[in-house]
Amino acid sequence: GDFVEDEAAFLSPWDRGFRFGDGVYETLRVHRGVVIRRAEHLRRMGEGLAILALDVDPDRAFPAVDLDRLVAAAGLRTGEGRMRLFVTRGVDRGTARPPRAPCPTLLAHVEPLPANAPPSDARPLALAVVEAAFPRPAAWSGLKSLNHLPYVLAAAKAAQTGADEAL
């Protein structure tokens, strides 16, 4: 419930999101002080939390009034920005096995986008087709987990070929 500057934010090294990628996130656009498609993003976050069997209601975890206060505190009432919402299973000094009674970590972060940034990059992009680093079960399709290692490795392979993006 506290607003802090980036430099003052603290994440325990025992947080399962940091240690195991055990959590989910959503990225939302902020346009002139309005969080775009909040309900849709929170619904998808709820679906991801259900896959993780993590009992958190995103609407209660990230109330609209608090997100609006965060946007205002960041000075984005008239500008453009990006908001990221994170839920992890919380701090746990145990093994990879999830704790029976987790205490989730909730984090909302907002940042301004550069002034006069175009809505998308207009230049043509080079695309590299790369072999997936890790297969993902079909049940995870659409899951926005904190573990993006397959995407990081694919992007690195694409960059090695001089491409902008990986498919």
Q: Do 164 and 127 touch, CB atoms closer than 8 A?
A: yes
Amino acid at 20: F
Please tell me the predicted confidence (pLDDT) of residue 146: 85
All residues at 6 or more sequence positions from 22 whose CB lies less than 8 Å from its CB, including other chains: 16, 52, 88, 89, 98, 146
**Overall size of the chain counted in residues:** 167
Over residues 25-45, the mean pLDDT reads 95
Give the per-residue pLDDT at 77: 86
CB atoms within 10 A of CB 102: 19
The DSSP secondary-structure symbol of 97 reads S
Task: Give 121 or 139, the one with higher predicted confidence.
Answer: 139
Residue 117 pLDDT > 80, yes or no?
Answer: no
Q: Is the pLDDT of residue 156 over 80?
A: yes
Q: What span, in angstroms and rounded, lies between the C-alpha atoms of 157 and 134?
A: 14
pTM of the model: 0.84
Q: Above 90 in pLDDT, residue 95?
A: no
- Report, as an integer, the average pLDDT of 65-75: 93
